[in-house]
């Protein structure tokens, strides 16, 4: 079993490939569809995801796809299960298994991610549906005026992440461990560094206590960036240097790879930051992408719910995936973006 888990984890972070996060909850996908004037019906959600899974990007640049519960059960218009489309492209189906972040008792302004109850049984069902990896997101906000995050909340979220990871590995499923320090707020880059360092050290301590095999997991962290409302924003070089520094200080070399979340960055910023980190070199683990919005904003806009726009949307998705593939290899340039445009 351990060899199987390790092999899947390695495939998830294969050179020049990354993970598509297509696991938006019903509420989130409705917001995205509202923005492009499309009604969020089951058929529309299916059609949109099907166009992504049938694109050229899948075989070339996508190692795995994180699905939502509805999507892993859906069939394409021609009756083919969506999971089969992903597998046919040589990509690995995955599944979001957490039940979302809920307010945490006695920690005003903070959340705890729920979903551990009955998770073992759900993982077995998802395995039978074709999932070979899973995702669980812990949400860590920063508010320096309210002393957030608190020790209580950070420790509880790290413990839940580790218990989830252990249940996944027991079910022959590779866990993506996602402690996301949010980039909302006005904090500076050094505050993001300190909170991320604390979060990662706590998470790996809990993973150790839960006997999680590091070789059979993938880490999905935030990059070290200042808050969106911070007076001073950071250069690409500073983000890359500080992110690599904190990862080297906190992430054991046994972890096969780190697949970053985009966390609200613009498409091009997320690509440029990844590229700059890979170019620094000398890293014990692979670096790649596990983007949702930064891979999908362009194809969603191009599609806008119209059948005649499917080709245009697929081209937009393939372009963004190609740019991030180049970044994961340390071969991206801003010129590449302009050439395509």
Q: How far is Cα of residue 172 from the mean position of the Cα atoms in its chain?
A: 20
Q: How far apart are CA 287 and CA 279, in angstroms?
A: 11
CA angle centred on 54, ends 53 and 55, rounded to 5°: 95
Judged by DSSP in three states, 293 sits in: helix
What is the full DSSP assignment across 127-195?
HHTT--EEEEEEEE--BGGGTBS-HHHHHHHHHHHHHHHHHHHHTT-EEEEEEEE---SS--HHHHHHH
- For 260, residues 6+ apart whose C-beta sits below 8 A from its C-beta are 220, 221, 222, 223, 270, 273, 274, 287, 288, 289, 290, 291
Q: How far apart are CA 248 and CA 186, in angstroms?
A: 26
- Asked whether 297 and 269 are in contact (CB, 8 A), the reply is no
Buried b or exposed e, range 83-103, using 16+ CB within 10 angstroms: bebbeebebbbbbbbbeebee
φ, ψ dihedrals at 209, nearest 5°:
-65, -30
End-to-end CA distance of the chain: 46
Active-site residue, 178 included: yes
- Asked whether 298 and 317 are in contact (CB, 8 A), the reply is yes
Q: Which one from 50, 178, 180, 206 is the annotated catalytic residue?
A: 178
Q: Which one from 11, 17, 96, 220 is the annotated catalytic residue?
A: 220
Judged by DSSP in three states, 219 sits in: strand
List, by residue number, the catalytic residues.
178, 220
């Amino acid at each position: 079993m351990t060899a199987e888990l390790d092999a899947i984890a390695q495939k998830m972070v294969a050179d020049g490939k990354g993970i598509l996060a297509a696991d938006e909850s019903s509420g989130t996908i409705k917001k995205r569809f509202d923005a492009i004037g499309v009604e969020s019906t089951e058929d529309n959600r299916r059609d949109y995801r099907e166009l992504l899974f049938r694109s050229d990007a899948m075989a070339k640049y996508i190692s795995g796809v994180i699905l939502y519960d509805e999507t892993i059960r859906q069939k394409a218009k021609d009756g083919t299960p969506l999971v089969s489309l992903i597998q046919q492209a040589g990509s690995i189906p995955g599944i979001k298994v957490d039940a979302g972040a809920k307010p945490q008792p006695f920690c005003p302004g903070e959340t705890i991610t729920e979903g551990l109850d009955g998770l073992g049984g759900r993982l077995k069902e998802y395995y039978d549906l074709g999932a070979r990896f899973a995702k669980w997101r812990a949400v860590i906000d920063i508010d320096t005026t309210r002393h957030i995050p608190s020790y209580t909340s950070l420790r509880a979220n790290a413990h839940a992440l580790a218990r989830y990871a252990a249940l996944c590995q027991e079910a022959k499923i590779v866990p993506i461990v996602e402690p996301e320090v949010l980039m909302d707020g006005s904090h500076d880059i050094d505050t993001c560094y300190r909170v991320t360092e604390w979060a990662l050290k706590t998470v790996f301590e809990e993973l150790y206590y839960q006997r999680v095999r590091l070789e059979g997991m993938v880490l999905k962290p935030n990059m070290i960036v200042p808050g969106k409302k911070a007076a001073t924003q950071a250069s690409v070089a500073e983000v890359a240097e500080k992110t690599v520094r904190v990862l080297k200080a906190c992430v054991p070399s046994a972890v096969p790879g780190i697949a970053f979340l985009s966390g609200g960055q613009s498409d091009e910023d997320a690509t440029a930051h990844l590229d700059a980190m890979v170019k620094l070199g000398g890293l014990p683990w692979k670096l790649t992408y596990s983007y949702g919005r930064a891979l999908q904003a362009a194809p969603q806009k191009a599609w806008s719910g119209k059948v005649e726009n499917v080709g245009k949307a697929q081209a937009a998705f393939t372009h963004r995936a190609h740019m991030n593939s180049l970044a994961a290899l340390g071969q991206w340039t801003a010129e590449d973006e302009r050439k395509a445009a």
